[in-house]
Structure 1
Amino acid sequence: MNSDSRYLNTFQSKIFVNRPVNLRKIKYYGFDMDYTLALYKWPVYHEALFLHALDSFVSMGYPKELGALTYDIDFPVRGLWFDTLYGCFLKVDSFGNIFMCALGYQMKSKREIEELYPGRFVTFTDRMYIFNTPFHIPELMFFAAVINYFVEKDQLSGRSSKTGVFLAEGSFKQFSELFADMREAIEIVHMKGRFKEYILEHISEYIEKDEKIPLLLQTLKTEGRKVFLVTNSDWEYTNGIMTYLFDQPISEDIKGSNWFKLFDLVVTSSRKPKFFKEGTELYRVDPATGEHVAMFGESGSGVMQPNCVYSGGSVDQLEDALDVQGRSVLYIGDHIFGDILKCKKHKGWKTFLVVEELDHQLACWVKCKPLIRELERVDFIKVNNHRGHYSLACQASEAEDGEKTMNGGEAMTNGLSEVKMGLKEKLRAVDLTYGKLGGLFQSGSRETFFASQVKGYADIYATRCTDLLHYPLDFHFHTPRQRLPHEMACEDIPEWTSVSDSFDREHRQLNKMTSAQASVMMNHLPNIAAVNSDTDYQKL
């Protein structure tokens, strides 16, 4: 958007592409607020939420000793599944194959995983809960710390259960019951507690002020684009956060508490993903007083008007108000399910996923490049050892001195075992570079469930929404065709190598239907026999 050298594209401000997005065709830019426009400071904000959750949990009658638990900044990674039956955190791929399994902080062995999940495989059912968003990171940490506390107490007392923990003598709590109470504690913090008030009172400690946010919105407006805000946060909290972010003058009439004038429409308390389907009751909000006026009644669910602030409503009302035509919306958010998946499935909007951890993932990937190359080399050795072992086995069945040949195969097998052990160590080293539970997008050399969701629903993704400033508004994001594994394997084949091709023209010509074969077949095809009576198949 700006040719100034200050905004030259850099690797860590790059926008990554899953599917083409032509910004020339985008006329409407929609934004979420939390973790999109308003960036929370990690990990201090998560620690604050973690401590508020513990306080809420203790107020429900749980041991006061839980208040001494601390936040482990290296443990949580989003994208995990939580099994409410066994109390385990599962890191899986898109098919449910389990990479890692932890009970509290304790990692399960392959044998232990197999006992709970035969084949180390699990399907997504109602008993599973997904930690998908940045808000889920402190929640995950809270769950893990609490479960670990009770599990360790049981282990010291010589008690154990696959499906729950003992709170006190004779008092047993199923993991599903513990989960329900922990979720209630979190809800109290978000909806009923003083957490949001606390954040607003100490806003500079927990919210990152990015001067590029007002610049991005102002640039979009100057270029004739319409911008709107759809957030699940209520008006009071939204106004407090946005006033802080826009405390520098943007224009003569837009500064601080007038921030909403920069948007063509503002929707608070949207209750996404419900907003993108049936919606909720619509209220018009008076920005000056915060008063909510109902816009629904006997006549219908209400109508939105541009340049207004609302609470609730639906995506259909928003599109009508802004006169959205076709697939001309790019919606930007951090919630893979509530922001990205639903608006794409129900409205076909283009999607931009904000993944703040991307900087960390990129940095770790760069650090791991030597290890990754070593893993590729080890994989190559494994494949060739398997081929060599097969070749020696074939020779053994034909050779007179079969004993010598098999001794060679045995030595190769021993070498392969050493290679496999080295591979496990290197894979674990790669995972630990990211954190105790590995990377967000991969576990070892395999893609995670989170990665599959990003690929499936986010058209483009980046660390911050302000990375758009590095691209002109007529930019066309293209994605290079992803080569299949057999195509990538061709890189290792020298150009002069003759590759067997059983489907080339020579082979096809030799295997064509002969005249004799055609004649026999025509006896069974009377409807076309006359038409093909003069056909000479050998000459075609």
Structure 2
Amino acid sequence: MFTLLRQQQKKILKSVLDHYTWLSLQRRRVNTNSAIVEQLRKEFADKKEQHIVNSERDRAKILSVSGTTDQLTGRTYYGVHNKGKSPQAVYGFGVTRPDEVFINNELNLKYIDVYGFDYDYTLANYTDNLSRTIYSILRDLLVELLRYPKEIKDLEFDPTFAIRGLHYDINKGWLMKIDSYANIQLNTVHTGRERVSDPEEVIRYYNGTHISPRYLHTQMFQLNDLFSVPQACLLSDVLQYFKDKNISFIPRYVSDDLNQAARILHTGSNMNSAFGIGGRLHHAVVDDISAYLERAPQLVGFLEKLRKHGKKTFLLTNSSFPFIDKGMRYLTSSPDWRDLFDCVIVSSRKPSFYSSRRPFRRVGEQSWDPVNKFEEGEIYQGGNLRDFTQITGWSGQKVLYIGDHIFSDLIDPTVEQGWRTGAIIRELEAEIETRNTASYRHTLAWLLRIEQLIQKAQSYYGKPDIDGSNLESLVIEWSKERRNARHELRNVFNRSFGSLFRTYQNPTYFANKIRTFADIYMSNVCNLNNVSLDHVFYPDRTYLPHERLVETLIDTGKIKELLQS
């Protein structure tokens, strides 16, 4: 009996001791957790104050803190608006020059014997008037030929709405930006001019944020060139009009109608396309060419430099000869512009030029003879890549072809013939100008700091004596700050869709195509005039996530400092 009593007393004592031990551990856990959270909060506040001080020193703003992007928004995408003004360096680093040539793939110009060029938005740079005219003609065609409501003629082009590279879902009528992995950037999905308010609606429709390759290629189309930007704006404006007026519509009907109007805009009748100037747009440009084309004083010097050094040159374009002739006379201030090229091919019907067997034909001469050689001073139309290669002997990696359209200009010659390629991206100037501003750089620096602090806080998850609930609340709070910073960095490029090149961390679908199929890219073809003809373009080393820490330290020479410390 006495032994049983002692055993019960020991159990009670152990239970009491265990309880006090548990209480002690809980108090210690609370104290430890509280200390860590307070330490992290203090670090966040100190870093934020430091960033604010640094930005004020550079007369800049951290946009997500100040809550304004007015100083950076409102730019169009067709050129630099502050030419002649040099932005100041931030953090001791210089700025990116808009006239640079940017490298995706190593390219030695010494081995380039032949330079080929597209015309529209490559040799010819258009003013903002062209987009307004495209919008107006398309709008009027919808009313005059396709019996759309007359009130649509009151719509006006908004150059700040759409950007190149967007995708349009022909079934849903949604315009959106997609990243390099075919994932949707949810806050860019628009129906008409309004953002889709509920992201879950988009997620439910696509069963997530990823677009399958089949759906992407069969039920969507992409805005690949600058001609398509006003078309996308009009499409969104018409859908918005129908919504506002409660007019029932099927999105695919509207996009089909607009595509039909676009064919008339660019080609007119088949006879005009084959033998005349072209469609309504081409006639508008030719009738007032100084209002649409920008003079290119450096272009002649660049082309003459190539030929002086023994390089062959050719012009390969889908536009008609009368249109090209008028434009090149204006650009070069000379009727003898054809002397700048060894070969001129018009009405080429790219991208089918690269895969078809359509024969070449002389322009301006009624002849049914086959074209077996390209004669000096002659102009040719149509044709195909295989015959072009056989006639000229120009093939493989000794050819560099430069154009603005990924699918029409760059992909097929790279894949089929191994041509080296260069992309002209006119919007690059304005994006670089924005990225060079002190406010953009300080906001980006603050965003990166927030992400570092969030990762640091998350590193305490699951550790002994740490209660994750308070840490989780802190991470949620900081994640909101991160969202604000990301939102403002998007807005400085375009309030609806952000940057042409980036969906937050990832490149856009458009940028990824440039990275894959263009060896080099630049804002203007004459940027190549800034480098020698035996220049070697070396791309920056691309780091995989597991390589970044050590190899960055090695490449920058900081590994020695780190080891010494």
Count of residue pairs brought into register by the alignment: 443
Q: Choose from 272, 279, 285 the match for 2:350.
A: 272
Distance in 2 (CA, whole Å) between partners of 1:137 and 1:443 is: 19
| 2:206 is equivalent to residue 107 of structure 1 | no
The answer as to whether partners of 2:134 and 2:227 remain within 8 angstroms in 1 is no
2:467 pairs with 1:389: no
* 2:405 counterpart of 1:335: yes
Superimposed CA distance per residue, residues 272-310 of structure 1 (whole angstroms, 9 cap, x where no aligned partner): 011112143421013xxxx453445xxxxx434242210
What corresponds to 1:140 in structure 2?
Answer: 232
Superimposed CA distance per residue, residues 91-146 of structure 1 (whole angstroms, 9 cap, x where no aligned partner): 11122210021111111232222132221221213111110111111111121111
**Equivalent of residue 175 in structure 2, options 89, 105, 128:** 89
2:542 to 473, 482, 490: 482
Provide the residue aligned with 1:440 in structure 2: 500
Residue-by-residue CA offset, 1:227-279 (whole Å, 9 max, x unaligned): 000000011111111111121xxxxxxx32x2112211100000001111214
Partner of 1:450: 510
2:139 maps to amino acid: L
For the residues of structure 1 that align with 2:395 and 2:445, how far apart are their CA atoms?
48
**Percent of residue pairs identical:** 28
CA shift, 1:362, in A, is 1.0
Q: Quick one: which of 505, 525, 529 aligns to 1:469?
A: 529
| Corresponding residue SS for 1:377 | helix
Q: Which amino acid aligns with 1:16?
A: F
The within-5 A match list for 1:55-454 is: 55-59=140-144, 60-99=146-185, 100-108=188-196, 109-123=198-212, 124-154=216-246, 166=247, 172-192=248-268, 193-247=279-333, 255-256=334-335, 258-286=336-364, 291=365, 293-296=367-370, 302-307=371-376, 308-367=378-437, 368-391=440-463, 395-396=464-465, 405-406=466-467, 409-436=468-495, 437-454=497-514
**Structure 1: distance between partners of 2:366 and 2:454:** 66
C-alpha RMSD of matched pairs (Å): 2.0
Give secondary structure in 2 for the equivalent of 1:420: helix
The one-letter amino acid paired with 1:314 is N
In structure 2, C-alpha distance between the alignment counterparts of 1:430 and 1:126, rounded to whole Å:
32
> Does structure 2 conserve the Cα–Cα contact (< 8 Å) formed by 1:282 and 1:294?
no
Alpha-carbon distance in structure 2 between the residues aligned to 1:323 and 1:36: 24
TM-score normalised to the size of structure 1? 0.79
> Which residue of 1 is the match for residue 129 of structure 2?
44
Q: Are the counterparts in 1 of residues 395 and 419 from structure 2 also a CA contact under 8 Å? A: no
Gaps of 5+ in 1: 1-8, 155-165, 167-171, 248-254, 297-301, 397-404, 499-540
Question: What is the one-letter code of the residue matched to 1:446?
Answer: N
In structure 2, the CA distance between the partners of 1:16 and 1:84, relative to structure 1 (3 Å rule), is: same
SS at match of 1:208: coil
SS of structure 1 residue aligned to 2:374 = coil
Q: Distance in 1 between matches of 2:416 and 2:559?
A: 48
- SS of the aligned residue for 1:11 comes to coil
Query: 1:12 is paired with a residue of what secondary structure?
Result: coil
Measured after TM superposition, the shift of residue 73 of structure 1 is 1.4
Q: Show the counterpart of 1:18.
A: 104
CA distance in 1 between partners of 2:443 and 2:163 (Å)? 22
Q: Which runs of 5+ in 2 are unaligned?
A: 1-94, 269-278
What is the Cα deviation at residue 418 of structure 1?
A: 1.0
C-alpha deviation, 1:496, in angstroms: 8.9
1:298-351 CA distance string (max 9 Å, x none): xxxx43424221010012222223222542100010001110111101110000
- Give distance in 2, aligned partners of 1:350 and 1:90: 31
1:54 deviation in Å? Answer: 0.2
How far apart are 1:149 and its partner, in Å? 1.4
* 2:60 aligned partner: none
Equivalent pair of 2:396/2:417 in contact (CA under 8 Å): no
Q: Which amino acid aligns with 1:293?
A: S
Pairwise CA distance, 1:488? 2.4
| CA distance in 2: counterparts of 1:476 and 1:295, whole angstroms | 43
C-alpha contact 2:353 2:383 (8 A) present in aligned 1: yes
2: CA distance, partners of 1:342 / 1:336: 9
Q: Which amino acid aligns with 2:350?
A: K
SS in 2 for 1:120: coil
Q: CA deviation at 1:189?
A: 1.1
TM-score by structure 2 length?
Answer: 0.75
Is contact 1:284–1:295 with CA below 8 Å preserved after alignment? Answer: no
Contact map agreement 1:442 1:451 (CA 8 A) in 2: yes
**1:304–1:318 Cα contact (<8 Å) kept:** no
CA distance in 2, matches of 1:326, 1:194: 37
Q: 1:10/1:221 Cα in 2 relative to 1: closer, same or farther (>3 Å)? A: farther
Q: Distance in 2 between matches of 1:412 and 1:495?
A: 36
- 8 A Cα contact 1:275 1:315, kept in partner: yes
Does residue 86 of structure 2 align to residue 27 of structure 1?
no
Amino acid at match of 1:46: S
What SS is found at the alignment partner of 2:460?
A: helix
Kept in 1, the 8 Å contact 2:304–2:340? The answer is: yes
SS at match of 1:229: strand
